[in-house]
Amino acid sequence: MIALTLTEIAAAVRGTIRLAGDDTPETIVSGEVDTDSRAIAPGGIFVAKPGETTDGHLFVGRAIEAGAVLAIVEHPVDESVTQIVVDDVVVALADLARDVVARVRAHGRLRVVGITGSNGKTTTKNMLARILQDEGETIAPRGSYNNEVGAPLTMLRVTDATAFLVSEFGASGPGEIARLAGLVTPDIGVVLMVGMAHAGGFGGIEATTVAKSELVRAVGAGGLAVLNADDGRVASMAAIAEERGVRVRWFGQGASADVRGSDIEVTASGTRLTVTADGESLPLHLRVLGAHHVGNALASIATATALGVSLANAVARLETVELAERWRMQPLGSDRVRIINDAYNASPDSMAAALRTLAQIVGPGERTVAVLGAMSELGEYAGEEHDRIGELAVRLRIQRIVIVGTGARRMFLAAVGEGSWDGEAVFFATADEAYDYLLGELRDGDRVLVKSSNSAGLRFLGDRLGESFS
């Protein structure tokens, strides 16, 4: 975090200072901010956030041992560290992030990019950060820091030397993107796609569209909206941009896109395509697996070139990206048995895209195996969407369909009902049972997709399989 006095921090978070040791109201603090006492470094600020199972106030002492010099708390704790007492530490965290970003913007060259979408946020964020980091200091979320805690923590990492802040905005309900984006008023808002992810929390696809459009509404006047021309719901957000005096830059595969992908060829080593931006065309070998990442790459190129990066540099830097993120289309195993671990998140759209990728990358004499678990946060749509994925796996002629966990049982039943009655589809209640089966079932030439929502835990099954067949 930038250097601030205790008085300045207290004013930003609307809190009361309780001094300890030799501190005075003018003592300067500049360490990193975190809600995890295990991540605190010397000079850091610990935010004692209450949680569902524990309370950060219980870990202030541990944070002090790690080097914390300030704790932001909701009630005083009996520890020898200066504390700022606030009504709500999560609100205080947001207020501090807003203040810090505003200060850096006031006397620096900081440009802020916000990214949202039902799928692809983290991948696009990583791609864009890779392109921009050679242009100047770039701050982007670690992992999927995109909620009411993670997004402000990322914002608080900016310094006076930061050129680009790339923020990822996730949401499970209306108003969340508006609150997060409102902390920084992005110069550029990127909307990737609207799908069924978190539809249970939003109340359906149309409500999801409204929620994702909150980012376009948050872009400052004279700013830029980078929109997916291939997604009709995203494309409709251009009207909002026009109302707000925000320019639009399109990406997609259609001829009208400002940044367009064509001649797309999906292989086991990645995806090859031609990228055309503002009349210039270059080949791109995208090493991240899956045709569904083409849109993410185009969005990152559209944003980077709007920020002044040449197409040639954007393409060259993207070609160095081998992995979107751990557990996201992550190749494991070996050439003999290739495991694709994509079990960090799953929605109906990303599940379908991953299955299509599996079907596309198999070669002669190779076999497709899909290990699938439940998709979370679908609410009333969960049953029909699990049915749809089970049916799709059969229609794509996936040769072995392994369904894991009671939450995904309808996927198995749908696969059987669609025509997988000769043993192609099997069901296991636990990941351990599935692992034992797969150890005996997998053979040379198998290409194995492991896909589920984070809560299903299949990412660890993917890791075990990757190690076993490495």
* Known binding positions: 117-123
Residue ranges for the binding site for ATP? 117-123
Alpha-carbon span 408 to 451, nearest angstrom = 11
Q: Tell me if 24 sits within 8 A of 10, measured CB to CB.
A: no
Alpha-carbon span 464 to 310, nearest angstrom = 41
Beta strands in 7-119 (DSSP E): 16-18, 28-29, 33-34, 45-47, 70-73, 82-85, 111-116
3-state secondary structure of 336: coil
For residue 72, give the nearest of 33, 124, 109, 122 by alpha carbon: 33
Bridge partners for 463 per DSSP: none
Q: Tell me if 167 sits within 8 A of 180, measured CB to CB.
A: yes
Which helix (H) or strand (E) covers residue 18, if one does? Answer: strand 16-18
Alpha-carbon span 168 to 180, nearest angstrom = 9
- Of the chain, the end-to-end C-alpha distance in Å amounts to 41
Beta strands in 196-289 (DSSP E): 224-228, 247-252, 259-267, 270-277, 280-286
3-state secondary structure of 266: strand
Q: Are strands 425-428 and 330-333 parallel, antiparallel or unpaired?
A: unpaired
Q: What is the DSSP letter of 11?
A: H
Kindly state the tokens that stand for 52. Answer: 């569902």
Kindly state the tokens that stand for 371. Answer: 């290990």
The sheet with strand 70-73 has its strands ordered as: 16-18, 82-85, 70-73, 45-47, 33-34
Kindly state the tokens that stand for 162. Answer: 């930061």
Alpha-carbon span 127 to 250, nearest angstrom = 17
Alpha-carbon span 275 to 261, nearest angstrom = 5
437-442's contacts with Cβ under 8 Å and 24+ in sequence apart are 437/402, 438/369, 438/371, 438/402, 438/465, 439/468, 441/369, 441/400, 442/337, 442/369, 442/469
